[in-house]
Structure 1
Amino acid sequence: MRPSRRASGFLLAVAAWNVVTYTIFIRNLAETEGRPTGFYVAHTVLIVVNLAIAAVLAVMGWRGWKAGGRAE
């Protein structure tokens, strides 16, 4: 079963949105000082997980986009 181009485009858009928002989050986290170590560890884990999700969504979206066509 192939996803439609619309669904694939949506997956690519969500992946791009995750990358953009979490890149900003990384920058803001780097500028933060004086927090406990647990704060940085927890937020770093969140960043890594969300960027991994973005990568998976991007791969799924790209494969669907390349396959083209409509879902059956």
Structure 2
Amino acid sequence: MHIGRRGSLFLLAFGVWSWFIWITFVKNLAADGSGLAFDDAGDPTGYFWVHLLLAITSFVLGTVIGVIGWRGVRANRSGG
């Protein structure tokens, strides 16, 4: 299967966007002071664990998509 240049660049951009968004999200989640992510004793809540799992899953999928885009960009450059 061949991915065109525009499609490859889109996938690569999505991967980079995913890194930025989800790393920022996890940093903000860890620093949450609203009481949603951590209870009064400072222990993580269900909200924290669900959102951390969501962020990790999205980060992994975004990375895989970005790698596919990067490989497509390289293949298009080499004429493959």
Scaled by the length of structure 2, the TM-score of the pair is 0.78
Q: 2:46 aligns with which of 23, 38, 43?
A: 38
Q: Which residue number corresponds to residue 12 of structure 2?
A: 12
- Larger helix proportion, structure 1 or 2? 1
Scaled by the length of structure 1, the TM-score of the pair is 0.85
- Give 2:6's aligned amino acid: R
| Greater Cα radius of gyration, structure 1 or 2 | 2
Q: Which residue number corresponds to residue 56 of structure 1?
A: 64
Percent pairwise identity? 36
Paired residues, number: 69
Q: Tell me, which stretches of 5 or more residues in structure 1 are unaligned?
A: none
Say if 2:9 and 2:73, in contact at 8 Å, map to a contact too: yes
Q: How far does residue 55 in structure 1 lie from its aligned partner after superposition?
A: 1.1
CA distance in 1, matches of 2:18, 2:24: 10
Q: How far does residue 43 in structure 1 lie from its aligned partner after superposition?
A: 0.5
CA distance in 2, matches of 1:55, 1:24: 15
RMSD of Structure 2 on Structure 1 (CA):
1.4
Report runs of 4+ in structure 1 exceeding 3 Å deviation.
Answer: none
Q: Tell me, which stretches of 5 or more residues in structure 2 are unaligned?
A: 40-44
Q: How far does residue 58 in structure 1 lie from its aligned partner after superposition?
A: 1.2
CA distance in 1, matches of 2:59, 2:20: 10
